[in-house]
Amino acid sequence: MKRTRHLRAGLLLALVLPGAALAADYAVQPASTLGFTGSFQGTSFDGSFRQWHAAISYDPAQLAQSKFDVEVTMASVAVSDKDQQSALPGKDFFDVAQYSTAHFVTTGFRQAGGKVIADGKLTLRGVTKPVSLAVDFKPQGKGATLDVAGTLKRLDFGVGGGEYADTSVIGADVKVRAHLVLVAK
């Protein structure tokens, strides 16, 4: 009797486990980029981060098992304007002396029309808020490309507050985007 129960349990596990497949883990390649677009006095400007790490586990057929975990070194910000470049790491904006990293981790994925949305929590300047990003995943051979994009409100995170809170000078919305070149681990 005991042996029969073990045999049934083993057969049940063998039938159930293939359906419980995990999302694929990917290594992010150096050609990947992480950037943003803001506006100053009505003119758009682009920036990027040179140092960041992303742990990506993703399968569009297994969204419940998928996960993004991204940590950004805020002092690695790069913009083309020298005044903006010197201001962004400072206390009024990213305050990298006190908050050296930003962290985004997904809390789930959902379908919205024909798109996949990654919902998550972003911690920036010690403030954690929900952020949603549109996901575009394209398998390519043994890897994939993954593009994500979304918009956040800079003042929600205290970026450019105080005398810089005027959204007619520095726009309230910041568009974030990443293009990841991935290779399956």
Question: Quick one: pLDDT at residue 3?
Answer: 44
For 17, phi then psi, to 5°, come to -60, -40
Residues across the chain: 185
The number of helices, as runs of H, and strands, as runs of E, in the chain is 2, 11
Query: Distance between CA atoms of 128 and 158, rounded to whole angstroms?
Result: 11
pLDDT of residue 80: 97
User: pLDDT value at position 161?
Assistant: 87
Confidence of residue 21 (pLDDT cuts 50, 70, 90): low
Better pLDDT: 6 or 128: 128
pLDDT value for 91? 96
The structural domains of the chain, with segments of one domain joined by +, span 22-184
Residue at 23: amino acid letter: A
Q: pLDDT at residue 174 above 60?
A: yes
The string of DSSP letters for 100-116 reads -EEEEEEEEEEEETTEE
Query: Which fold would CATH assign to domain 22-184?
Result: Lipocalin (2.40.128)
Report the percentage of the chain scoring pLDDT > 70. 89
Residue 140, token pair as written in the block: 């390519």
pLDDT of residue 99: 98
